[in-house]
Structure 1
Amino acid sequence: MKINFAVGMLFPCLALTSFAAPPKSSPQGMERTYAQNYRDMVLATCIANAYKGEKNTAMDAGSSVTALREWAYYDLEKSPSAVKALIDKYLARDYTNPLVESEIKGVKFDLLKCLDLYHSKELNALVKEVVIKPDHTYIQDNK
């Protein structure tokens, strides 16, 4: 009897919690700060450039860049050339790992380079230089 009561109480509670927070079905970029969206845009651009030979990967990353541009507020004159130079610098790095190279020839570690760029002091400095109202969000400024 106690089990039936417990189960009878548990299911309605679970049902309520599942309706309380529906899963996100759209991008959350408009809820993030302009600074974070700019950093994400640079990462997506790096990935698109690194994998331009991989059609689907480059197309998906490029589409993400386009969306992130809408949710970032930055200096459109300074940013493109600065981003290109920074990405080119990081993708030109020569990352080698003898253990991997002996097993798989031609590994370039491009994703690792893009992640290092994403976490770099250079990108932090660029964000401070070109992002306008870095702590604001798209939603905050477009209500």
Structure 2
Amino acid sequence: MISNKGFSLVEILIAILVVALSGVGTLKLYSYMEVEKANAAMFVEAKLIAESQLALLQTVNTTGSICTGKTFANIQDCVNEQDEGSPFTVTVTSIKSLTHESAAGIVETYGNVYKVTVTWADRNNEGKTLAIPVSVSKYTNLLE
């Protein structure tokens, strides 16, 4: 009677194949996770840029604002400049004017709604966009 005290060549080859396939899958998962982590970091940075632009629009005509002298007519020209080589682009567009009709029948604009848009290309070279609306009123202490 012969007893086997080891593994056959076929069993060893199958074990190596299983380990190799699981290693390849793990490497693909790791590279995917790295790309998604970088894309998430870019989204967070774009959100911070958009929030900074929102704050800038809401400080128009306040002391120390870089947008001193801007009005509803040209407030969208007041944009935070990005560093040279930055993947982010910021634009401000007017969505609508907020108006009120007084008792005398005069229609008066009391505020505007703007859309702050930040665009960039992610690690896959796909264009991404983040858009946040903001309203600015002339009846606050922000505009005269």
TM-score (norm 2): 0.30
TM-score normalized with structure 1 length: 0.30
Q: Which has the higher helix share?
A: 1
- Whichever of the two has the greater Rg, that structure is 2
More relative contact order in 1 or in 2 (CA 8 Å, sep 6+)?
1
